[in-house]
Amino acid sequence: MTKFCSIASGSSGNCIYVGNDESGLLIDAGVSCKNILENLKNIGICTSSIKGILVTHEHSDHMKSIGAMSRKLNIPIYANARTWEALGGGIGTVKTENIRIFDTGKEFCIDDVCISPFSISHDAAEPVGFTFSFGGEKLGLATDLGYFSQTVKDALKGAHFVMLEANHDVEMLKVGSYPYFLKRRILGEFGHLSNEASGYAACELVGLGIKQIMLGHLSKENNFPQLAYETVRGIMEEKGISVQKDVTLDVAPRSSISKVFTV
């Protein structure tokens, strides 16, 4: 049985757990080590089962504690070469044997999980999403998307569960307090996926046979969970998709753990 849990998801920090009874992985570590360790304990995960940290990209809300977690648990950090370069000295000293480099678009395995990093559109050095295959079970993580590209769609095909970005409500962002340059960045093709765009992406995922979707990476200033949920649900219902019958739809909390999903 494969488990997936969001430890934190949003502009203030991101960390995901995925694993089974034998081994697990963290994706990003943008919140404190204390927060991560406490919440792993809360969901019944022993730290000795954590085999590594995967890094989607170098922005601070994703990498704040990756160095500290690597040192604390003596586990490797996996990132592509351009992300490692962009991280620079910002994560402190990491043991040479714990520096692992993967190639975007090329599958690799850690113990019994096969990981496929795929390209996403975001304003970072070489940002990626991931899919994870545990035997016949496939899960996907697709956040920090400027847009829902064909590459992302192809990568997620065949997944049983997907965490999908629903970052902002466009009107809230437009009238909000963010400076113009930041609004433009978020709305651009290297920014973040809006609730509406997430709704249409979710419809495509259901068309690919995906049965469980969790919305994530919600903005604190320009979104709130019920709005994200209702916007996406409304678009899916308009397209003839019955939420909770054809697909389950949930929202990841920004600063606390989500429920534990199993596939």
Alpha-carbon distance 255 to 35, whole Å? 10
Query: What would be the CATH architecture of the domain defined by 3-262?
Result: 4-Layer Sandwich (3.60)
As a whole number, mean pLDDT of residues 76-92 equals 96
pLDDT of residue 244: 87
As a whole number, mean pLDDT of residues 25-44 equals 97
pLDDT of residue 21: 80
Alpha-carbon distance 154 to 182, whole Å? 30
Kindly give, in sequence order, each residue whose CB lies less than 8 Å from that of residue 2, ignoring residues fewer than 6 positions away: 18, 19, 20, 132, 134, 137, 139, 262, 263
More confident position, 227 or 134 = 227
As a whole number, mean pLDDT of residues 87-103 equals 96
pLDDT of residue 139: 97
Amino acid present at 176: G
Read off the pLDDT band of 255 (50, 70, 90): confident
Q: For 8-29, what is each residue's pLDDT tens digit? A: 999 889 999 999 888 999 999 9
Whether 35 shows a pLDDT value over 90: the answer reads yes
* Cα atoms in the Cβ-side hemisphere of radius 13 Å centred on 133: 14
Whether 136 shows a pLDDT value over 90: the answer reads no
Q: Phi and psi of 209, rounded to 5°?
A: 100, 5
Average pLDDT, the chain: 96
pLDDT of residue 1: 84
Question: In the chain, pLDDT over 70 holds for what percent of residues?
Answer: 100
* Cα atoms in the Cβ-side hemisphere of radius 13 Å centred on 39: 23
C-beta separation of 76 from 53 below 8 A: yes
As a whole number, mean pLDDT of residues 216-232 equals 97
Kindly give, in sequence order, each residue whose CB lies less than 8 Å from that of residue 98, ignoring residues fewer than 6 positions away: 70, 74, 75, 76, 77
Whether 51 shows a pLDDT value over 90: the answer reads yes
Q: For 153-187, what is each residue's pLDDT tens digit? A: 999 999 999 999 999 999 999 999 999 999 999 99
Domain assignments of the chain as residue spans, ordered by start: 3-262
pTM: 0.96
pLDDT of residue 22: 84
Q: And the tokens for 78?
A: 């996996």
Read off the pLDDT band of 100 (50, 70, 90): very high
Read off the pLDDT band of 119 (50, 70, 90): very high
